[in-house]
Amino acid sequence: MTPRLGLGIALAFWLAGQGATAQVALDGLVTAPADAETTAQQGEAEAAAAEVADPEALDAAEQALANAVPDLDDWQSRVAAAEALLGTGTGSSLALSRTRETLFGWRERFQALGSLNAGRIATVQGQISALGTPPESGEEQPAIAERRIVLNRQLDEISAPAVLAREAYARADGLISEVDSQLRARDTARLTTRGPSPLNPSNWGEALQSGHAALNTVVASAAARISSRFSSGSIWPGVPLSIMYLAVAIVLLARSRSWVSLLQDRVENSHARGRAIWSFLLSLWQIVLPTLGLSALILGLRQLGVLARSGDALSQAIFGAGFIVIVARWLNGQLFPQGEQGGPLGYPADVRSKIRSSGVALGIGLAAILIVAALMANAGASDASTGVVTLPLQVLLAAILFRLGYLLRHAPMDRAGKAGSSGRIRVSVGLLCIIVAIASPLLAAAGFAAASASLFAPSVMTLAIFGVIIVLQKLVYDIYAPSSETEGAGPLMPVVIGFGLFLLAVPVLSLVWGASVTDLAEVVAQFRAGFQVGETTISPGDFLTFVLIFGGGYLLTQFVKRQLKTTVLPRTKMDLGGQNAVSAGVGYVGIFLAALIAITTAGIDLSSLAIVAGALSVGIGFGLQTIVQNFVSGIILLIERPIGEGDMIEVNGNVGFVRNISVRSTRIETFDRTDVIIPNADLVSGQVTNWTRGNLVGRLILPIGVAYGTDVEKVRAILLEIAEAHPMVIADPGPQALFAAFGASSLDFELRMILRDVNWKVVTTDEILRQINARFVAEGIEVPFAQTDIWLRNPEKLHPAQPSAPAKPVEAPSDGPSTAREASSMMDASDLHDTDTDGDADPDGPT
């Protein structure tokens, strides 16, 4: 019995055991409840559905899956070997990694086969749905019941291959998880296992012998190769080529940087357009040319026989070490340049020089460790000997990193003497460098060599990666913003590109800190598989479909809204407020339809979120009731249109013109050019005065007061004459000058008039009042003002009789009242006789 046949028979027994629930498990669209009173017709349907799970049908399903996967037998053997490897737990990390790669490829294939026959399945499900739900009574037309049985059997047949593929996918995914678990356990053990300490004197002798043997091995191998070529005479044909390689290497390594620097200075000092881009591109030659020189050096040494012609570990280590030094010099030169310019980080010149030298020294130290480790590995030295030899270099590198972190903490301050957000980040980075510089040699000295190497080298590489990102971001800013721009927010695109650079750096940082390519592939696979929301799986494809359709619908809605507002609606007889209401309504409906179509097309099922939506509605009802109230009020304003854009309204004591009506609030512009945001609920439930609703005609009432004794008819004639002559006052109905009341100090009139445009109310008031004032002055008509007369009953008490002989003045105490206060204190309420506030002259006059 083949594994495929065994899998098919097992699935057949499972389906047969499920009986009537097999249809529910395969398709949730058609659900027939089973109760104790199931009719004979339902029993026949269940029996017919159970017949689908026979071995012959499953063999057909397996054959369909085998046709899609021709090498299915290879999958069975691979998965059996993987289970055996995981069962023993003694396989090497290399074997586990290769097994994982194999399983990963199979899982990708089965994931694609999970949607096998998807179109046909959807068609059959639609047919079953078209038949409707079986009646609860069980009495169904025989033709419909027979058709339902046939469709269910067909659905089972075409769904079986996809079910088997999903089962295989789950199996591969579980095995991959087991492999990852074992690999993580081994990595944890490697980092936490303590080896021999380099500080143990018993390891020093072996380390010295291993180091001496490593040097002797390199020298002896080079001497043997040179001697062999001398004796055979094969060295002489390669000498000219070797000399040429070495000459090119010396020139490129010694002079290429200075040549590129001269060209950069000429470009930067010129006023050519795009000089920032050309300067950056020229700086890249400081990496390319020395790297070519390094390659020429290795080729020349190989021609002479100093290095082996094949790609041995020592040659690779020399090339890698040299490349590290070249990149370190270029990167530190870009981040902390020489001269007066502060560079992208803005440190002072002296600090930049120290940081630059520390960064280059750090690269040289890493290169030295790389070469020493290669020499020790070439000689077959033990880990203890390698740790003893490299410990002094590690301590030196830790001291350099400590100094670099200390210098990075000197962040530039702003005018207020504080470090900005970028300054705080640099201070934190410097502190982390100091911590790594202290912890790394301590771990190496304690015997945790793997943990020390996994901490120090990735930390330095992380600094280099962030340095490259900063250099590229500076280039983007130089492209989009002028170099003279030092203030202002600047353009948005450099910020977006910088964020994208940081996102691209995440996978690189993951690889630096120990992640493998398969780990990144696993993250990508999980991302492609999507995430679960209820019973719906949302994949990146679904999300991209939603974004594209919704974005297209939104743009189409905005286009239609703009065309309606600028082209279609102005040709109708609809007023401006109605036009704005129609365009706004079309916009809201369009956005709603775009979201609905995007959700439906992307296959996002929101029915599972009904319970969550019901729970959220309670919170919305209590916590967001004000926002919901304003939203509903905004819709009412757009439908009823009691106010429109351009109307002059008065609400809550604010008078101004309506400039915008949104869903939540309305913005009005007052006469002093300030914007007032009014919630829509206040406009619907409160009292609103619309001065320009329907037309611009409005009434203006001016109160006028004249002194008692003035000729009333004369005043009325003057007021009517002035009002009728003003161009803003309409003639029908004409203005009215009414004698309103006898005031406390004046005869009160009201000048009432209808204005052609109420928006000119303030200007008209100013002009008419100035004309009235000029006519009153010319006609001698007095405009009274409030007066108050105070009458004293006994005024003699304020001036007592003077004595015959002058008495010696008595000084008032220093804290006593002043003369005015003493006189005021001598008056009491009984002395006040009469108070006249009517503004009329008294015949007796005040005393």
- Number of domains, the chain: 5
What is the mean pLDDT of the segment spanning 322-335? 92
Considering only CA atoms, which of 728, 716, 774 is closest in space to residue 753? 728
Last residue of a domain, one of 690, 721, 753: 690
651 and 512, same structural domain?
Answer: no
Round to whole Å and give the CA distance between 45 and 693: 71
Q: Picking from 22-36, 631-645, 688-702, 780-794, which range would have the lowest pLDDT averaged per residue?
A: 22-36
756 and 795, same structural domain?
Answer: no
821 and 713, same structural domain?
Answer: no
Question: Which has more confidence, 304 or 827?
Answer: 304
pLDDT digits (tens, 9 = 90+) for 6-59: 434 333 333 333 333 333 332 332 333 333 333 334 444 444 444 444 455 556
109 and 15, same structural domain?
Answer: yes
577 and 496, same structural domain?
Answer: no
502 and 443, same structural domain?
Answer: yes
349 and 226, same structural domain?
Answer: yes
Considering only CA atoms, which of 200, 201, 206, 190 is closest in space to residue 385? 206
What pLDDT does 37 receive? 38
Considering only CA atoms, which of 173, 154, 176, 155 is closest in space to residue 165? 173
Residue 64 confidence class, pLDDT cut points 50, 70, 90 = low
What pLDDT does 612 receive? 59
Residue 784 lies in a domain: no
Residue 215 confidence class, pLDDT cut points 50, 70, 90 = confident
Residue 22 lies in a domain: yes
Measured at the CA of 771, the angle between CA 765 and CA 775, to 5 degrees, comes to 145
What is the mean pLDDT of the segment spanning 209-232? 85
330 and 406, same structural domain?
Answer: yes
* Residue 740 belongs to domain spanning: 698-779
3-state SS class at 595: helix
What pLDDT does 6 receive? 40
Quick check: 314 pLDDT over 90?
no
Percent with pLDDT over 90 in the chain: 21
What is the mean pLDDT of the segment spanning 112-128? 84
Residue 517 lies in a domain: yes
pLDDT digits (tens, 9 = 90+) for 350-406: 888 899 999 999 999 999 999 998 888 888 888 888 888 999 999 999 999 999 999
181 and 49, same structural domain?
Answer: yes
Residue 271 lies in a domain: no
- Give the domain CATH number at 763: 3.30.70.100
pLDDT digits (tens, 9 = 90+) for 130-139: 888 888 776 7
Quick check: 748 pLDDT over 90?
yes
Give me the DSSP letters along 158-179: HHHHHHHHHHHHHHHHHHHHHH
Quick check: 779 pLDDT over 80?
yes
Question: Which has more confidence, 532 or 323?
Answer: 323
Last residue of a domain, one of 641, 671, 690: 690
- Kindly compute the dihedral angle of the four CA atoms of residues 204, 206, 212, 217, in this order, to the nearest 10 degrees: -150
Question: Which amino acid would we find at residue 697?
Answer: V
SS (H, E, C) 337-382: CCCCCCCCCCCCHHHHHHHHHHHHHHHHHHHHHHHHHHHHHHCCCC
What is the mean pLDDT of the segment spanning 248-257? 91
316 and 231, same structural domain?
Answer: yes
Round to whole Å and give the CA distance between 403 and 419: 20
Enclosing H/E stretch for 149: helix 142-192
- Asked if 516 and 556 touch (Cβ cutoff 8 Å), the reply is no
Round to whole Å and give the CA distance between 46 and 19: 7
Exposed / middle / buried, residue 258 (Cβ in 10 Å: 0-12, 13-18, 19+): exposed
- Asked if 647 and 691 touch (Cβ cutoff 8 Å), the reply is yes
Enclosing H/E stretch for 274: none
Eight-state DSSP code of residue 733 = S
Measured on CA atoms in the order 668, 674, 675, 679, is the torsion positive or negative?
negative
Quick check: 423 pLDDT over 50?
yes
Residue 3 confidence class, pLDDT cut points 50, 70, 90 = very low
702 and 686, same structural domain?
Answer: no
Beta strand 648-651 with 654-661 is: antiparallel
Instruction: Give the CA distances from residue 112 to residues 166, 175, 330, 523, in Å, rounded to whole numbers and listed in that order.
Output: 9, 18, 46, 17
Residue 430 lies in a domain: yes
Residue 345 confidence class, pLDDT cut points 50, 70, 90 = confident
pLDDT digits (tens, 9 = 90+) for 494-536: 888 888 888 889 999 998 898 878 778 778 777 776 666 555 6
Last residue of a domain, one of 192, 217, 246: 192
What pLDDT does 19 receive? 37
607 and 556, same structural domain?
Answer: yes
Residue 300 lies in a domain: no
What pLDDT does 830 receive? 40
Mean pLDDT of the chain: 78
pLDDT digits (tens, 9 = 90+) for 785-823: 777 777 777 777 766 655 555 555 544 444 444 444 443
Cis check for the bond before 813: say yes or no (omega within 30 of 0): no
